[in-house]
Amino acid sequence: MTEVPPGDIYRGPSGIARESQWLSNEDIPHDRDSVVTIEAVVRRDNLTMQGGRTKKVGLSLRFVGKSRELLLNATNRKTLAIMFGTNECAQWFGKRVALFVEQNVRRPDGTFGPAVRIRAKRIEQAEPAPTITEPVQGGDA
C-alpha cells in the first residue's frame, strides 16, 4: 500500500488543486473584485486550447506575485486597450486592474458558465518609487 503524505487543513480556493497554468474563476472570489498588477504580457504561438482547438497566437497576462496567468480573450483584450488608451501591450506593464467573475458567459463549446473578466474601470495606479541618485565622486569642487 502506498503511504499518503501528511496534509494540512486548507481553507483557500479549491482551484489550487487544478493542474493548470491558467487563472480561472475558481482562483478568485466571486463576491468582490481582485486588484492585481500586470507584470508582463506573454505571447504564445500555436496554443492548444481545451477541447483540442488551436489558437495561432495567444496572449496572457502575468501578474506580480501570482503563479497563474490570465489567458486573454477578445473581451478582456479590448477592455485593456480602452482602459489604457492603447493596444500596445508594453504600455500595460505595471498597470493595476480589477478582476471579477462574470456569471453565465458563453464558452467556445456553446455551454455557459463563469469567466474571469477585467473590470472596465481605472484603478488608482501605484506611485513609482523615487529614483535615488548617488553623488558623483571625485569631481572638481
Residue pLDDT, tens place only, 113-130: 999 999 998 777 666 555
- What average pLDDT does this structure show over 8-34? 82
Among 115, 119, 18, residue whose Cα is nearest residue 68: 18
Which parts of the chain are beta strand (E)?
34-48, 54-63, 70-71, 96-106, 112-118
Using an 8 Å Cβ cutoff, are 28 and 101 in contact?
yes
Predicted TM-score (pTM) of this structure: 0.75
> pLDDT digits over 30-42, tens only?
999 999 999 999 9
Residue 13: what residue type? P
> How many whole angstroms separate alpha carbon 71 and alpha carbon 41?
10
Q: Is the pLDDT of residue 10 over 90?
A: no
